[in-house]
Amino acid sequence: MKSVIFLVDMESFYASIEVARRPEYKGKALVVSGDPNRRSGVILAASKEAKYYGVKNAERLWEAKQKCNQLIIVPPHMQDYIEVSMEITSILKTYTDLVEPYSIDEQFMDVTNSQRLFGSPLEIAKRVQTQIWNQCGVRARVGIGENKILAKLACDHFAKKNAEGIYELKADQLQDTLWPLPVEDLFGVGSQMKRHLYDRGIRTIGQLAATKVEFFKKRWGIHGQVLWMNAHGVDYSPVKISTHDGQKAIGHGMTLPYDYAEKADIHIVLLELCEEVCQRARKNHVHGSTVSLSVSGASYEIRTGFHRQFTMPYATNAALTIYKHLCQLLDQFWDGKPVRRLGISLSSLSDGDSVQLDLFEHKQQQENRELGEAMDLIKARFGKTALLRASSLLPAGQARERAAKIGGHYK
């Protein structure tokens, strides 16, 4: 029996939830957007009525306003979106235990062995759509395929254009369905890869598929081979519930409320990000030996900044230790120009219960570990802002603001 995989995608997820909560918004051009005064005025979701005017996700709010002067702007309510996403997961699990969340509004399902109970793939897809609509007020689109990449491509490029919101993409029909599409429509092809492919005369997915895989392997390694496999609808990864187990890195980043030009101000946010990353590392009982720092410049037109990493002498999840090395990276690679965004990560993770001792700093290691664990206990009991470093109380500090948010947006 061939596998039957679904990708269930929520239509305009955030916007749909806001309309479900406020019926007076039904049929109106609505967008969910961050606060424009804090430079987070980016469209997170747009209703189909807003999209009619050309409003797109990820564009800046002022651009969307120029397209539609009657635009209704709603701030994000991230906690509500997370709760609805979890409710949808529960719905999907009534059809199969193999449900894999891909993002907050997309989830894979393996319904291969569910057909005897619930009918054909098309019948199951319709039942899923109906149940999600009745319980959550959100319309779902379903891509169907023999594997995850076919289901993803079916959903992204065909189910969204289908009145039913359901489409099955078959491997033996790719030449007539998928291959005529522009190469940038292939999953995994970003703007930079698009430019590389266009420079080589590869403009459609079919042209990519017709190129020998050795060309992609030689030029882009594993990523190139995966692109070639995607174009041929080949994917061996199963739907599994443990996708996010055993993560390879822990990171945090933020767009600053204004351009930071002083190194002292950047240091404050770096230390706050270190605290967040290390708290997550301790919660997951891991520590890491490689730290990475990403800095984005203030200009959108001329890209400046850098991404660099450093391997420490020993693995740790102590914020001050990681902070010290990140400051060194900043000193070495920052060009002194205003900074718009900062991001850090801790990788090369290992078991946090085993500790590599340092001959000269063993006592300091022990103190840092005990301090971090004590801070975690206090924050878990009394809240994230119950204990802050004094630097976070300075004007550049963002810890109190971030504590009120989920994923960079207010709960």
**Active-site amino acid positions:** 106
Task: Please give the Cα distance from 131 to 272 (Å, whole number).
Answer: 42
Q: How far is CA 307 from each of CA 294, 299, 332, 333, 344, rounded to the nearest angstrom?
A: 4, 16, 12, 9, 9
Pair 106, 85: CB distance under 8 Å: no
Q: Which tokens is 171 given? A: 């491997």
Torsions phi, psi of 95, nearest 5?
Answer: -105, -30
> 110 a known binding residue?
no
Among the listed residues 48, 41, 51, 103, the one whose alpha carbon sits nearest the alpha carbon of residue 74: 41
How large is the angle between the packed helices 319-333 and 362-382, nearest 10 degrees?
Answer: 100
CA–CA gap between residue 402 and residue 186 (Å, rounded): 35
CB 26 within 8 A of CB 15: no
Question: Is residue 9 marked as binding?
Answer: yes
Task: Report d(CA 191, CA 303) in Å as an integer.
Answer: 15
Residues that constitute the known binding site:
9, 105
Residues that constitute the known binding site for Mg(2+):
9, 105
